[in-house]
């Protein structure tokens, strides 16, 4: 399989006062198109930072990050935003839905920033919500949904633009086991349909559903 993600000597550091904090050091790895990878590690090991860099929400300090062969280093705000809009779907632990918008409007949100806004936006959103089993809750507000349902809305929003990469940061962390299981089933289904999925998790059980596990320790991959 062709590599969707290629990372070479990738590092991330922050300056806090006079101190230089190294979050990620010399990472080298590849993720093939269609893979389901679990990223594990203790709190503060740099998992979320790596996920944010791969999703172009954050920038790396040095090294190379190629997405489908394209070097993502040095891209400007417009190009990075377009990349997030087209290629990536984020799923967060805290769902991150806009509380004043309805379920449908939350899923519609990515289209506002896509260059190809079209008349069938509503139909595509309803289709995405149908795939996570929420086609009947279009006009509900997030506050009227359970945690599992909110996360399903977040998944619908992540997949509505048909991205190649889905980045999930502890998507089951705030859910009970039944709801968490449903979310993982949906991710499995998306992966079977060709999506590449990177999931950050503490949970060994969750990681076991991935085709490959990677473990970060202090910003490096554990041997």
**Which residues 6+ apart lie within 8 Å of 211 measured at CB?**
35, 36, 37
Q: Calculate the CA 43 to chain-centre distance.
A: 18
Structure tokens at 116: 């190809």
Using CA atoms, how far residue 25 sits from 5, 51, 64, 105, 109, in Å, is 17, 14, 12, 39, 35
Task: Determine if 113 is a binding residue for another protein (CB under 8 A).
Answer: yes
Closest CA to 203 of 186, 183, 221: 183
Task: Determine if 13 is a binding residue for another protein (CB under 8 A).
Answer: no
Task: Determine if 221 is a binding residue for another protein (CB under 8 A).
Answer: no
Task: Determine if 126 is a binding residue for another protein (CB under 8 A).
Answer: no
Nearer Cβ to another protein (32/82): 82
Task: Determine if 33 is a binding residue for another protein (CB under 8 A).
Answer: no
From 3, 11, 32, 57, residue interacting with another protein (rule: CB under 8 A): 57
From 54, 90, 190, 209, residue interacting with another protein (rule: CB under 8 A): 90
- β-bridge mates for residue 19, sequence order: 16
Task: Determine if 143 is a binding residue for another protein (CB under 8 A).
Answer: no
Report helix, strand or coil for 188: helix
Residues that bind another protein (CB under 8 A): 52, 55, 57-58, 77-78, 81-82, 84-86, 90, 92, 96-98, 100-101, 105, 108-114, 116-119, 121, 157, 161
């Amino acid at each position: 399989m062709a590599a969707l993600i290629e990372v070479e000597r990738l590092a991330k550091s922050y300056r806090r006062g006079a101190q230089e904090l190294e979050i990620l050091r010399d990472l080298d790895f590849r993720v093939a198109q269609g893979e389901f990878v679990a990223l594990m590690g203790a709190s503060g090991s740099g998992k979320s930072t790596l996920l944010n860099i791969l999703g172009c929400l954050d920038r790396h300090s040095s090294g190379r990050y190629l997405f489908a062969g394209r070097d993502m280093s040095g891209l400007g705000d417009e190009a990075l935003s377009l990349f997030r809009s087209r290629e990536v779907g984020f799923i967060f632990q805290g769902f991150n839905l806009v509380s004043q918008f309805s379920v449908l409007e939350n899923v519609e949100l990515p289209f506002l920033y896509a260059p190809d806004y079209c008349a069938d936006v509503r139909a595509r959103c309803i289709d995405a919500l149908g795939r996570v089993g929420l086609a009947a809750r279009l006009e509900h507000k997030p506050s009227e949904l359970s945690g599992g349902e909110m996360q399903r809305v977040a998944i619908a929003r992540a997949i509505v633009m048909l991205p190649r990469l889905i980045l999930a940061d502890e998507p089951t962390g705030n859910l009970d086991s039944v709801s968490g299981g449903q979310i993982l089933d949906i991710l499995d289904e998306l992966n079977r349909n060709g999506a590449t999925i990177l999931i950050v998790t503490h949970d060994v059980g969750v990681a076991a559903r991935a085709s490959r596990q990677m473990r970060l320790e202090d910003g490096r991959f554990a041997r």
